[in-house]
Amino acid sequence: MNFKVKPFTLFLYVALLVILMVLPMLIENLRSLPDPLELLFRKKLEWTGLITLWNVNFIDCGTGNNTRWLNLQIEKFEKQNPGVFIDVRNITPERMKMYFQGNVKENILPDIIALPVYEDIIPLDLLIDLNEFFSQQELERLNPVAYKHVVRGGKMMGVPYMMGAYALVFNVQLAHEKGVSIPQGQVDYVFLDSAVRAMTFTEKAGRAEKRYYGFCAYSEPYSRPLLSIIHNGQDKIVDERVCDYLIQWYRDGVFPSGMTDFSYDQAWNLFAGKGTVGVMLANTRAIYQMRALQRLGKGFEIEVKNLPANEKGLFVDQVASFGILRTDNPIKLELCVSFLKGLLEEKAQKELKTIGMFPVITAVNDIYADDPQMHQLEAWLRNCAYGPGDEKVVQILEKEYERLRQELNAIDACQ
């Protein structure tokens, strides 16, 4: 008796036989694979806890400080990493210095720390070289001035996350009163010289006198706008012509006595509080403070202009960055790096607009396209080639600035 087996049935028999032969090996291999859920939650299971961050506002933001923006980035990071929290401590530069004087007690130091603009307050051997965590492509996305700021001896000691800019802020009301017509586009030093001289005068009201100054600036440990104005950026580091202007302006009373030692608040009080300054050289904080006054029905109209420049090579010292202090916990270190990389994501960089600051990622452009005053400063930053990371440039500028201060003080003594 012949049994006929249909082709499909034969196929099923063969397939079943193959499965029975292969199944034991397959089960054994599956046992060696990690649980998919374990892969998904491995970071959470490996480490949870607190990452400490010391935030020092070494540079002024347009809105005063970086708190609003930083808290937003921390909130995003904590959502992405359940069980990991970042504890921020806002401290002053003076308090930070105190912790690094004498024998440093590493057990009280944070995991992430703000890096100063000029001084090396933090011993470099305490900071982790972050080069191995960044690809060449990631580094090439960084603004060159910002990147140089965090490099020491070929080591990447931190991550820059935002930049600021300096500007000439004109008192439009005072300019109109003195017949100064502020041109469209960039201004040069010939115009600036005539403008500040026109806005320098003494107003008499009976026996009282009110002194008006054409120009005012300030100098603080981490914000030195005058270094940007005396920098030449061509074949010489110092623009001697600008130094000559400053000396002559001082002799002629164009800016107030002792200005080279003014704090920002002193300069701002003369410019906005008393309204007795025609042009203030300042960072973006001055723009946002005046806008805040205008919303209250106070203040006055301002015009914002870039610092005069004909060629690339400008100097700016407003770069904010964070470093990571050495740790023996590799997973915690990876989380710290992940947080700092998150600050460089395009969305985070665009959100710097909320605090009046500028991106350090070259691919993020024109976040102020709807704000003409800030947009021109955004473009100006692209012409900056030097910053606090250029030690030779800084040394020469500081030396020249100190010589300038002494010369102005000598003029003061003779008057």
Q: Is the dihedral angle over the CA atoms 371, 374, 380, 384 positive or is it negative? A: negative
Number of structural domains, the chain?
A: 2
Question: Distance between CA 355 and CA 372 in Å, rounded?
Answer: 16
Q: Tell me whether residue 77 is in a domain.
A: yes
Domain that holds residue 354: 43-164+319-382
CA torsion, ordered 413, 262, 245, 289, to nearest 10 deg: -150
Prediction pTM value: 0.85
Domain shared by 71 and 156, yes or no: yes
Domain shared by 278 and 332, yes or no: no
Q: Which residue has the tokens 């403070």?
A: 289
Terminal C-alpha separation, the chain: 132
Question: CB 367: neighbour CB atoms within 10 A?
Answer: 19
Domain shared by 398 and 354, yes or no: no
Domain shared by 246 and 105, yes or no: no
Q: Tell me whether residue 119 is in a domain.
A: yes
Q: What is the DSSP string of 20-37?
A: HHHHHHHHHHHHHSPPHH
Domain shared by 158 and 182, yes or no: no
For 234-375, strand residue ranges (E) read 277-283, 302-305, 314-315, 319-324
Give me the tens of pLDDT residue by residue for the chain, a chain 415 residues long: 444 555 656 566 666 666 666 666 655 555 545 454 444 444 444 788 999 999 999 999 999 899 999 999 999 999 999 999 999 999 999 999 999 887 777 788 999 999 999 888 899 999 999 999 999 999 999 999 999 999 998 999 999 999 999 999 999 999 999 999 999 988 999 999 999 999 999 998 778 889 999 999 999 989 999 999 998 776 678 888 889 999 999 999 999 988 988 999 999 999 999 999 999 999 999 999 999 999 999 999 999 999 987 566 789 999 999 999 999 899 999 999 999 999 999 999 999 999 999 999 999 999 999 999 999 999 999 888 899 999 999 999 999 889 888 888 787 666 6
Domain shared by 354 and 237, yes or no: no
250-282 in b/e burial notation, b at 16+ Cβ within 10 A? beebbbbeebbebebebbbebbbeeebbbbbbb
Indicate which CATH number applies to the domain containing 269. Answer: 3.40.190.10
Strands 84-90 and 49-55: parallel
Domain shared by 159 and 243, yes or no: no
Q: Tell me whether residue 10 is in a domain.
A: no
The amino acid that residue 80 corresponds to is Q
